Amino acid sequence: MSSLDSIPGAYWPEGWSKDFLLHATSADIMSLPEEEKDRMFDSLRSALGPSGFLELMSEASRNHKARVAQEEAARVAVGGEKIQTVDELRRTEVPLYMKALQRYYPGDGPWGFVVFRTCCYDDGQRWSHFISKWDAVIAAMFDRESTVEGTVEVNRRFTIHWVEDPQLESATPQQVAKRYGNFFVQKEAAMMPEMCLVVNEASLQSFFDSKIPTPTPWTSETIIPYALAVPLAAQDADSDHGSRPLFNVAVGSLDTLWGVVGSNLQSPRELSAGMRDDQIWIADTGPRFQMGVAQGSVGRRG
């Protein structure tokens, strides 16, 4: 362990310290071997605890943003063009789901997902509280400033069609997929081709255990509200749990998921390849988020 260590119990790769981490560039982080990087961050989580680790990472993030701003200002001062930030680019970029709608589903009809409720039929109050949290996550998903014409109107058409039936209590993904197979032909294609979502007990609990909106940066202690994505192919899938094309998806990433599938960039089978039941598909993590101990104790596929 380096003599530069200022956090008791922390492990530092050669040449690293708390100060170096707080002022590290993206290139510095990327240059670390995965084993060293994981060992360092795991030791910091253990030494500092959830809140301390989050505070450390937030300070590092603030330093990074300040350094980038200073470098940008210096470059502009000598005549260089201002480079758009990621947030600025996002405000001017046509969302993937909007491109898919324009190309494959023209018109002004609804688009979104069919969601099956397979739990909580004996507690209407708890379900009502869950719906409020679900709606808040969806609202936060679209609460992004955009200069793209028509985005507000398209976002307004996003629809969640709930399928609620006490007979669905504890239904398996295969049973849901078979029911959706019959239901799908009656719905507009833009209500998610070939895939529905399921809210089971584990995913419902994730909404009560998480902070909404979910704070960033994410750590192993972050709990992300999610649902289970169930492709139509699940009705014919092998009974072996690991072979079924199911995966958990962050509800705050449903717009991106719809865009990926609606654009035919990836099929549900491709999206689920290699996904474990302790991982969540999320748009900003490449795209798998590993559930930490806090969420892993309750978060599992149905």
pTM above 0.75, yes or no: no
Same domain flag for 131 and 61 = no
The pair phi, psi for residue 9, each rounded to 5°, is 90, -5
Domain count, the chain: 2
The boundaries of the domain holding residue 106 are 89-296
Residue 240 has pLDDT above 80, yes or no: no
Same domain flag for 94 and 72 = no
Same domain flag for 157 and 124 = yes
- Examine the fold and report which residue of 56, 77, 98 is the final residue of a domain before the chain moves on: 77
pLDDT of residue 130: 95
Residue 200 has pLDDT above 90, yes or no: yes
Domain membership of residue 230 (yes or no) is: yes
Confidence of residue 288 (pLDDT cuts 50, 70, 90): low
Handedness of CA 47, 288, 201, 112 (dihedral sign): positive
Confidence of residue 92 (pLDDT cuts 50, 70, 90): low
> Vertex 122, ends 254 and 299: CA angle to 5°?
40
Residue 232 has pLDDT above 60, yes or no: yes
Confidence of residue 128 (pLDDT cuts 50, 70, 90): very high
Confidence of residue 83 (pLDDT cuts 50, 70, 90): low
pLDDT of residue 250: 92
pLDDT of residue 91: 56
CA 200 from chain centre, in angstroms, equals 18
Report the pLDDT averaged over residues 99-112: 89
Domain membership of residue 221 (yes or no) is: yes
- Looking at residue 204, its amino acid is L
The H-or-E segment that residue 152 falls in is: helix 151-156
Domain membership of residue 265 (yes or no) is: yes
Kindly calculate the radius of gyration of the chain based on its CA atoms and give it in whole angstroms.
22
Buried b (16+ CB within 10 A) or exposed e, 145-174: ebeeeebeebbeebebbebeeeebeebbbb
